[in-house]
Every structure is written in structure tokens, then in C-alpha cells.
Structure 1
Amino acid sequence: MKQKIKSMIQLSLRSFDIEIARYSSLKATARKARDMELLLSMPDDRAAEVLKNMRKSRSQIRQDLFVLSQLNFKKNGYFVEFGATNGVTLSNTYLLEKEFGWTGILAEPAICWHDDLKKNRNAKIETRCVWKDSSSTVNFNEIAEYSTINSYSDKDKHKERRKKGKIYEVKTISLNELLEKHEAPVDIDYLSIDTEGSEFEILNNFDFSKHSFKVITCEHNFTPMREKIFELLVKNGYVRKLEKISDFDDWYVRLDVASVSSGAS
């Protein structure tokens, strides 16, 4: 079966100009072959399902396919995504909604994305900025997919891009209130966080006793906050997965879910 999967991968990824030989050669070209590493990290049946959906994936580094693989390609699940942009380009939840019948919440404070987001998606949309509390007004720096709370504009490798951003005030909403407002289930399948720097503050002020997430993907961009997020999520019952593949993201699975989906570690 492994050889069959390998042949399927080779056929599917030929357009990427990636030549598959042995796994040792795959590891030598890991950056160019993330898709293959993801597939080869999984049991045959799971890899086959991921491969079948690979061309439909919209995520930047296959976060959507990772989530599906961890949840046995669940239908009609529930997601929460911050930093939704237009809901399609580099979206971690578009595939889940359109092909697997999921619903959920999309949060995006950048005004430039609001019209397209409403047009492109059927999920609930929140235009307030997800933050550590719901009582603040913050300066927001809008610059397409690099938009962020302005106090984080110079905290990562994209700081030069943000110097040309448009600054305006936005109201905030905490993750706790966001879930209550939109009547999210207690046990949520997937949380995607891409807020360009404020991820730790959001999670550190979240009450994990009221809601939980089976899978979390969280952008870190190799900032010092990465380890703080790691420590926080481990303390709350999560394990980090596929660290070498996830690059500027970290992928977490709740321990009870990870024990079931132990084929991808």
C-alpha cells in the first residue's frame, strides 16, 4: 500500500517539479517538498484522503488538510478563524466550509476585506478585532494580509511592509465574548489564529474551561512569543504536531484527540 501511495503522490505532484526517490532524498529537499512530507507522515489511508483533496486546499502550508487528517475528515464541523482576509486566498477554513460542510466564525477587522469576505463565505462574520478584552479601542494598521494591531507592526519580519499601512481605530472583542456572541458550541473542532503578533495575548486571556478546541493552528513567525504560546497550550492539554513541516505556524492537537489520531506526529 505504501508503494501505491508513493506512486499516487508522484503523479499528483509532478506539476510541482518535485521528483520523488527515496524518503532520504525527500528529507534533503524538505522545504520544497512539504506536501510530500505531510503525506509521508501519515498512515496510508489518511494520506490517500489528503492527496485526494490537495488541489482543493487554500491554506498557505496545508493547515486545512492537517486539520482534516486529525479529525478523520469530519463532515459538518465547526471552526473559528481570526485573520480571515477575503475568506478564500490562503484561507485555512475555505475547504472545510465548501467541501466538508463546516460552519463557524470568521473574524476580520481590516475594512479592505469586509465586502469580499461577506461575498465569499457563508459563515458568521465578526468585524471587531479579536483581542484580550472587549472594552478597548485600538489603533489598527491595515496593509492587506499583513494587517495587525499597530503596536505589533514592528514585531516581526514584515515590519518594513507595515510602514506603508493605513492606521485607524477599531473596537475589540475577546475570544470568550466572540464565542458567546455567536453561540459557538462548547467543543469546537478547529481554531485558526493569524493575527500578526497578538496571538499570545488573545490565548492568555481565554477561559479554556468554558470552551475547548480539538485542533489549533497558530502563526508565530518565529517571534519570542512562540514559546509562551507553546507553554500555555501544553498547560491546557495540547500537544504540538509536525513542527518541522509547520514552519512559521505551530499546529496543536488536544491530547484526547491526538491519542486517536496518533498516526501523524
Structure 2
Amino acid sequence: MAKKVISFDRCNADSFFSLITDKGYYVDIGVREGVHDNKTFLLYNNGWSGICVDAHPDYANICKIARPTDTVLSMICGKDDKNCKFRYNWRGSFGSIYNEELDSKRKLYVIGGDGENCWYGEIDENKNYLGFKNSIEHSESQSLNTILDKYNTSNTKIDVLSIDVDGAEQEILKHFDIKKYNPSFVCIEIERALEYMGDFKEKEFIFNYMKEHDYIPLCTFNEDYIWCNSQENHKLGIDILKKFESKEFVVQNINTIHPCNYLHKNKLQLNEETIRKYIDYINSLY
């Protein structure tokens, strides 16, 4: 009989990672609220732990409540910079180190929409929505090196590094010594939308970076690309993939809801009480 593995991630990368080890350690950059469509929430529920980083303070606050035993940081991850320009987007996704061209293209190709495709209606991009910060501001950023040196003080082996930063991948990887920290598996979301929004070289840069640092391509889950740091981990990854292909393991998707959508549907504003209502609702789903 097939064994069920649940997934909170629409691409199911979390179900794959859940089988690489028991109670491992992750670093999740661009975690948002760390629940809906997230690659490490399942791992957290399975007894893993780690560092979760998101630049948006409102989403980081939700994550702190959802994951009280993780180290959750509200900060920009890029380079060490006291004055980093950042787009804080109410959705959490599409917030990124500011790129004027990318910011304007998102309005046309991603963030907009008509009728049923735009459930949130017309929103001023520089005013808070549902209580979520929505603006362009300057804040301090820290490199991933600095974050790991400060917060992984016991030098725990990183089993999974997940990066989902909506177009700021180069800024993070350029200032990250991946050889020093040597995560076993690296998962980077590369938006397909970037390919038609303009001449953005994120995918090319990421692939070259991983190759130059001797990381081995393993597989993709939709927009999530996974590499590993050794032939041993590559074999482990292939063996896990075969278990899914043979139906030894089957994925049961947990259909969570984005916190903004939850607040909008229930006519609520963001505060600690509504955050806890949201988390209680998520927990009722599984």
C-alpha cells in the first residue's frame, strides 16, 4: 500500500525534502508567512527546525506566531548594506530588492488582472492594504553569510536551503559563500514570468553560479529547481524521486489559503487576533 506524504507546497518540493532525513535543518529565504505554498512548513511540522527570513515585517510576524520554535528574522537578504531600496508588497510575494524595470513590469503582467482574476480589486501600490505594509522604502540588508554567522552559531549542517525572492536571486548569491556553508540541497524558485517580462538574466546567472560552485542539478518541481552538493546526495535524491514515480509514496495536497485572501474573504484586518484565527484555520485542514 502506498504511503501518503502531505504537502503544503503547490509544487510538492516539501514532500520530497521531508524524505531526505529526519528532523533536519533548513534555511528559508523569502519564507513569507511560512505556511501557504511554502517549502518548509511541512518540515517544521515533522520536527525539523531552522532559520526563516523575510523582508516584509508583517509576514515575518505571522511566521513567528506560526513557527514559535524557529528563528524567524524580519530583514532583507542580499548584501551587507545599510540603505537597501526595497519594494514591500502587500501580497508578500513580489516584494523584492527594488528593480525599477521589474517593478513596473509586474504591474502589467502579474499583479493586475480583471474580474475574477483580480479578487482584491483596485489597490494603491503605495498604501497599506488589509493592514499589510505596501510601499517602497530603504532599510538595512544583510548577506546570507552574515545571517548564518549570526544565527547558526552552532554551525548546524544545512540540509535544505530554500530561496524564493522574486527576482533578487543574483543579489543574494553574489554575496553568499556557498562552499563555506555547503547546504546539502538547494531549492531556488525561478519565475517563468521573468522570461517574458524583460531581459532578466536570473535563470542564466543561477545555473552558472551553481555549476561554478560544483552543485549538481537534481530535478525541478514546476518553478522550483533543486541542486545537491555531492554525488551521495544526488543518489539519495534520485532514490526518493523513484519512490514517488513508483507510487511507493503518494502526495496528499493540503489546500491552504493565502493570508490576504483569508482576511479579504472574512472582512478582517491584520492584527495578532486575526493572525491566530488564520493559523487556527490552517491547522484545521490537516
- Report the CA distance between 1:188 and its aligned residue: 0.7
Higher share of residues assigned helix:
1
- The answer to whether the 8 A contact 1:140-1:170 is kept is no
1:198-254 CA distances to partner (integer Å, 9 max, x unpaired)? Answer: 1122112211232111111101113331121011112212122223xx222211122
1:261 counterpart residue number: 237
Tell me the distance in 2 between the aligned counterparts of 1:132 and 1:119.
27
What is the letter of the counterpart of residue 11 of structure 2? Answer: I
CA distance in 1, matches of 2:5, 2:49: 19
1:132 aligns with one of 79, 83, 91? 79
Which sits farther off after the overlay, 190-199 or 58-67?
58-67
- What do the CA deviations read for 1:93-129 (whole angstroms, capped 9, x no partner)? 1110112x11110001112213311110121011110
Tell whether the 8 Å contact from 2:218 to 2:234 is kept in structure 1 after alignment.
no
Matched, 1:151 2:121: no
- Between the two proteins, what is the percent identity of the paired residues? 24
Deviation digits for residues 159-212 of structure 1 (CA, Å, limit 9, x no counterpart)? 432882522222101000010110252631001101111112211221123211
Q: Is the 8 A contact 2:54 2:60 kept in 1?
A: yes
Q: From the superposition, tell whether residues 132 and 191 of structure 1 become closer, same or farther in structure 2 (CA, over 3 Å).
A: same
Q: Choose the corresponding residue for 1:177, options 105, 121, 146.
A: 146
Partner SS, residue 261 of structure 1 = helix
Q: Which residue of 2 aligns with 1:59?
A: 9
Alignment of 1:76 with 2:76, yes or no, is no
- Structure 1 unmatched ranges of 5 or more: 9-47
Which residue of 1 is the match for residue 162 of structure 2? 192
Cα offset, 1:137, TM superposition: 2.7
Report what 2:268 is aligned to.
none
Closer/same/farther in 2, CA of residues 180 and 166 from structure 1, 3 Å limit? same
Distance 1:260 1:110 in 2: 35
8 Å contact kept, 1:83–1:194:
yes
Kindly indicate whether residue 30 of structure 2 is the aligned counterpart of residue 102 of structure 1: no
The structural deviation recorded for 1:84 is 1.2
Shift in Å at residue 80 of structure 1?
A: 0.5
For 1:155 and 1:252, how far apart are their aligned partners in 2?
28
Report how many aligned residue pairs link the two structures: 209
Please say if residues 86 and 116 of structure 1, whose CA atoms lie closer than 8 Å, have aligned partners that are also in contact: yes
Alpha-carbon separation, structure 2, partners of 1:204 and 1:114: 24
1:87 aligns with 2:34: yes
Give the secondary-structure state (helix, strand or coil) at the position aligned to 2:183.
strand
Aligned-pair Cα RMSD in Å? 2.4
Whether the 8 Å CA contact 1:132–1:201 is kept in 2: the answer is yes
TM-score (norm 1): 0.71
- Unpaired stretches in structure 2, ≥5 consecutive residues: 113-123, 126-133, 195-200, 243-286
Closer, same or farther: CA 135–117 of 1 in aligned 2, 3 Å: same
Secondary structure of 2:102's partner? coil
Q: Please, what TM-score do these two structures have when normalized by structure 2?
A: 0.66
Superposed counterparts of 1:111-260, under 5 Å: 111-121=57-67, 122-144=69-91, 145-151=93-99, 154=102, 158-160=106-108, 161=111, 164=125, 165-183=134-152, 185=155, 187-222=157-192, 223=194, 224-243=201-220, 246-256=221-231, 257-260=233-236
Change (3 A) 1:236 1:140: same
